[in-house]
């Protein structure tokens, strides 16, 4: 019932992870694996697309916290994109916008990665 799926694609050196469904304590390990695989292969530029995510629990939020330090220390970032209002509210309540960057679309996030390189 509470399905969760993720899809990974890359544009140049930027990795886009698209989330779909319910991200909770039971499905968070899937996302954790995906990001961990990227980090292990030295891929630190990550955009997470939330457009099809219906729900996120504290365990889901924790996944991003687990990697952000390593990613930033290696000159990368985890940027969020295309989040609907409901999900954004959860992020906002907890204070994520103070620490993470949110964008309306993947393109904006990618643009941001590219412009910061220059």
| Residues at the site binding another protein, with contacts judged by CB under 8 A | 24-25, 54-55, 57-59, 61-63, 65-66, 69, 86, 90, 93-96, 98-99
CB of 113 to another protein, least distance (A): 22
User: Would you say 30 or 112 has its CB closer to another protein?
Assistant: 30
CB of 63 to another protein, least distance (A): 7
Which run of H or of E encompasses 85? helix 85-94
- DSSP codes of every residue in 37-64: HHHHTT--EEEEEEEEEEEE-HHHHHHH
Cα–Cα separations (whole angstroms), residue 9 to 17, 19, 89, 106: 7, 12, 27, 12
Task: Return the residue matching tokens 């952000």.
Answer: 68
| Phi and psi at residue 88, to the nearest 5° | -60, -35
CB of 18 to another protein, least distance (A): 17
CB of 3 to another protein, least distance (A): 11
User: Would you say 12 or 95 has its CB closer to another protein?
Assistant: 95
User: Would you say 89 or 114 has its CB closer to another protein?
Assistant: 89
């Amino acid at each position: 019932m509470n399905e969760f799926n993720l899809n990974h694609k890359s544009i140049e050196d930027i990795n886009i992870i698209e989330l779909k469904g319910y991200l909770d304590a039971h499905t968070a390990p899937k996302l954790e694996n995906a990001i961990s695989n990227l980090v292990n292969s030295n891929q630190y530029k990550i955009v997470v697309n939330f457009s099809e995510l219906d729900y996120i629990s504290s365990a889901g939020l924790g996944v991003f916290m687990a990697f952000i330090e390593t990613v930033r220390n290696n000159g990368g970032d985890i940027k969020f994109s295309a989040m609907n209002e409901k999900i954004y509210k959860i992020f906002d309540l907890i204070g994520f916008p103070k620490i993470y960057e949110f964008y309306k679309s993947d393109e904006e996030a990618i643009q941001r990665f590219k412009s910061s390189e220059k």
